[in-house]
Amino acid sequence: MNKVWKRIYKDKLSFAALVVLVLLYTAITFANFFAPYPKDFSSRKLSYAPPSNVYFITPENKLSRPYTYNYIKTFDAQSLSTKFKQDRSKKYYLQFFKDGKIVGVEKDGQFFLLGTDINGRDNCSRLLYGGQISLTIGFLALFISFPIGLIYGGISGYFGGWVDNLMMRVAETIMSVPSFYLLIILAAILPSGMSAAQRFALITVILALIGWAGFSRVVRGMVLSIKTQDYVKSAIAIGASRARIILKHILPQTSSYVIIAITLSVPGYILAESGLSFLGLGIQQPDASWGNMLKEAQGFSNILYRPWLLTPSAR
């Protein structure tokens, strides 16, 4: 294990990627601490408010504690549009490590680090809460699909013959179906009255049940080679059961490939969930996921007039 960590540390790109992943998963795991607002926060009066500015210098050019100004929503009768301007009559100072939050603002103050959406919900908070779904669904799907693929491929490769032919034809049939279109069909027939937790669970199961076939085929090929090794023949000679040979002597030898396959599969599951939510077939509003947040942000009017929904630093 120490050798692995040393190799990761020496590879600057791998180390940087590991740091980013650790930060992301730490943020979503403790979203209640890092998110400025609760999951159910909403203020219709602040619909599409731009990101809040944080100041460290007072108008008198003196160093100050970080503070911000509230926004006032106005209506422009000439352009028939709403606009936000800062109310500079009162400062609202940021508060750190108060009320179970890493950062907040004084009572009656507004602090929207990434602006708000159409319902006046804080985008920064929704990004963190949405990540709990979008970044964990891949790992949950792996816990279902990889054991199935590993055992299925191991049995097929070990027994060979007509068992191998039958099992591989089933796997190839599943592989021949366009996975994303099948995913859309299965997600579309889910009952509309399902809760977010139920929909999340079913989407995870659907992703898992269509992702094991290709993995099992590769495992089967590895098992065909491994079962001819001397230690496997020795286990057969001493009367070890087939289940013990497959689970104890053959499948563990595929671990190097399994680790790599798991690593490469996680982004695919994450993108699949985000794609479903983007199309309106995954996690539904008001629950947040990165897919349905992106769906709102890609609206033409939002790109023109509210670019912070896509680019947080945009004004």
Last residue of a domain, one of 85, 110, 129: 129
Same-domain check for residues 199 and 247: yes
| Segments forming the whole domain that contains residue 20 | 2-32
Same-domain check for residues 242 and 139: yes
State the pLDDT confidence band at 270, using cuts at 50, 70 and 90: confident
- Give the span between the Cα atoms of 107 and 49, in whole angstroms: 18
Same-domain check for residues 150 and 202: yes
Same-domain check for residues 163 and 275: yes
Same-domain check for residues 139 and 271: yes
Same-domain check for residues 275 and 167: yes
Whether 62 maps to a domain, the answer reads: yes
For CA atoms 42, 43, 47, 52, give the dihedral sign.
Answer: negative
Same-domain check for residues 22 and 50: no
Same-domain check for residues 185 and 276: yes
What burial class does residue 54 get, using C-beta atoms within 10 Å of its C-beta: 0-12 exposed, 13-18 middle, 19+ buried? middle
Same-domain check for residues 111 and 224: no
Whether 266 maps to a domain, the answer reads: yes
Summarised one tens digit per residue, pLDDT across range 200-216 is 777 777 777 777 888 88
Summarised one tens digit per residue, pLDDT across range 50-100 is 888 888 988 878 888 898 988 888 877 776 677 888 888 888 899 888 888
Name every residue whose Cβ is closer than 8 Å to that of residue 70 and which is 6 or more positions away in sequence: 86, 87, 90, 92, 108, 109, 110
Same-domain check for residues 121 and 168: no
Whether 292 maps to a domain, the answer reads: no
Q: Which of 8, 242, 266, 47 is nearest to 145 (CA)?
A: 266
Same-domain check for residues 110 and 167: no
pLDDT(235) > 60? yes
Q: Tell me, what CATH number does 198's domain have?
A: 1.10.3720.10
Summarised one tens digit per residue, pLDDT across range 126-137 is 889 988 888 887
Summarised one tens digit per residue, pLDDT across range 97-155 is 888 888 888 888 888 888 888 888 888 888 899 888 888 877 788 888 888 888 888 88
Whether 19 maps to a domain, the answer reads: yes
What burial class does residue 181 get, using C-beta atoms within 10 Å of its C-beta: 0-12 exposed, 13-18 middle, 19+ buried? exposed
Same-domain check for residues 198 and 251: yes
Domain count, the chain: 3
